Amino acid sequence: MQRLIPTLRKDNVDAALISVLHSLQICAKEIAYRLSQGEMAGVLGSTLDENIQGETQKKLDVLANQLLKDILLESDFVRAVASEEEDGIVNGNLQGKYLVAFDPLDGSSNIDINSVVGTIFSVLPVPANASGEADMFLQPGNHQVAAGYVLYGPSTMLVLTTGHGVRMFTLDQTVGEFLLTDDQVTIEPSTREFAINMSNYRHWQDGMRRYVDDLLQGVEGPRGKNFNMRWVAAMVADVHRVLCRGGLFAYPWDGRSADKPYKLRLMYEGNPMAWLVEQAGGLAYTESQRIMTIQPTDIHQRISVILGSADEVKSCLNYLESSQK
Ligand code: F6P
Ligand code: MN
């Protein structure tokens, strides 16, 4: 089985970008190890102890953030990083060609129950006349040069696109390498599975409620088929399932509180997942727009997300279109 770096070389990925992805790979292995240590993670230490010196018994999402920052900012090719765990951007090498936005541990409430979590990342080019400020990151998702996630489950997997389709790599613990285990991930257009937090039903707009009502009616309803529901409550795991066997994943607009109508973040959740899903043949939209065409206004901007099997996303959007908020 092919290792990560030779696979990227075969795709003619820019050497500097390969180096950034190599740094991410190092982070992934370290975070996977820490997660496997569970409650002991903060005290037992590990191979990269010098990078996180003085940090005792930190929560794992804080540790993951620190590791990603330390290792990525050491790279000659990383100009700056933006993280869910940091208010502002953190500058790295002034000559760096790339910006990396990441969610260090997505689904972090799953840590407490020893369940699946992941690191989501998006790599963007440094724009011309880079300011050294957060506005460098404010580029639509279709500017991404690499995007993916690391899933820390029963096995650790790296799922990646550089625009040549979607590849899945599995961490071989015996040699400490990510090996190519699926070189052409594709999402079937049709599905019978959906993922949504049903407890928000009463807060959704009418179109969303009607869409889900019809899914729930199964063969007896207008959709004419039975649907199954799955919800891991970690976007990274729910999207991974969609990439593995299709489905629709949605975190739509909801009216719980006027100042926070969306849950997921554009720069390090929506965009990287949207690119992966599109590269695998699926669709990724908000209620009204392809996610990757959104011009961001803030590095921590939130958006609604409807992604997955193409026919099902279209069907959901039809319900939304034919009704008002
Ligand atoms: O990062 C936000 C997140 O943890 C996602 O991974 C996940 O999809 C969502 O929140 C879960 O939210 P809820 O609390 O509604 O299940
Ligand atoms: Mn998250």
Closest residue to atom 13 of ligand 1, CA basis: 233
Cα–Cα distance for residue pair 251/235, rounded to 1 Å? 9
> How many A from CA of 274 to the centre of ligand 2?
14
- Confidence at residue 45, expressed as pLDDT on a 0 to 100 scale: 44
Nearest-5° Cα angle at 58, 112 to 173: 70
- pLDDT at residue 59 above 90? no
99 lines ligand 1 (CB under 6 A): no
- Per-residue confidence band for 42, with pLDDT thresholds at 50, 70 and 90: low
> How many A from CA of 9 to the centre of ligand 2?
30
- Per-residue confidence band for 65, with pLDDT thresholds at 50, 70 and 90: very high
CA distances from 32 to 173, 191, 264 (A): 10, 31, 23
> How many A from CA of 103 to the centre of ligand 2?
6
67 Cβ neighbours under 8 A, 6+ residues apart: 27, 30, 31, 34, 48, 51, 52, 104
Closest residue to atom 15 of ligand 1, CA basis: 197
Closest residue to atom 4 of ligand 1, CA basis: 107
104 lines ligand 1 (CB under 6 A): no
Q: Could you tell me which residue, 54 or 229, shows the higher pLDDT?
A: 229
CA distances from 308 to 112, 200, 209, 312, 322 (A): 28, 20, 18, 7, 21
148-167 pLDDT tens trace? 999 999 999 999 999 999 99
191-223 pLDDT tens trace? 999 999 999 999 999 999 999 999 999 999 999
- With b meaning 16 or more CB within 10 Å and e meaning fewer, what string describes 216-246? eeeeeeebeeebeeeebebbbbbbbbbbeeb
Q: Ligand 1 pocket test: which of 202, 203, 251, 260 has the largest number of ligand atoms within 8 Å of its C-beta?
A: 251
Average of pLDDT values for 222-229? 98
Cα–Cα distance for residue pair 98/104, rounded to 1 Å? 18
118 lines ligand 1 (CB under 6 A): no
Helices and strands (H and E) in the chain: how many: 8, 15
- pLDDT at residue 180 above 90? yes
71-105 pLDDT tens trace? 999 999 999 999 999 999 999 999 999 999 999 99
**Max CA separation in the chain (angstroms):** 61
106 lines ligand 1 (CB under 6 A): yes
Full set of structural domains in the chain with CATH: 4-182 (3.30.540.10), 193-323 (3.40.190.80)
Taking the CA of residue 199 as reference, the ligand 1 atom at the shortest distance is: 15
- Confidence at residue 324, expressed as pLDDT on a 0 to 100 scale: 63
179 lines ligand 1 (CB under 6 A): no
Taking the CA of residue 231 as reference, the ligand 1 atom at the shortest distance is: 16
Q: What is the pTM of this model?
A: 0.95
The two tokens of residue 96 are 């760096």
115 lines ligand 1 (CB under 6 A): no
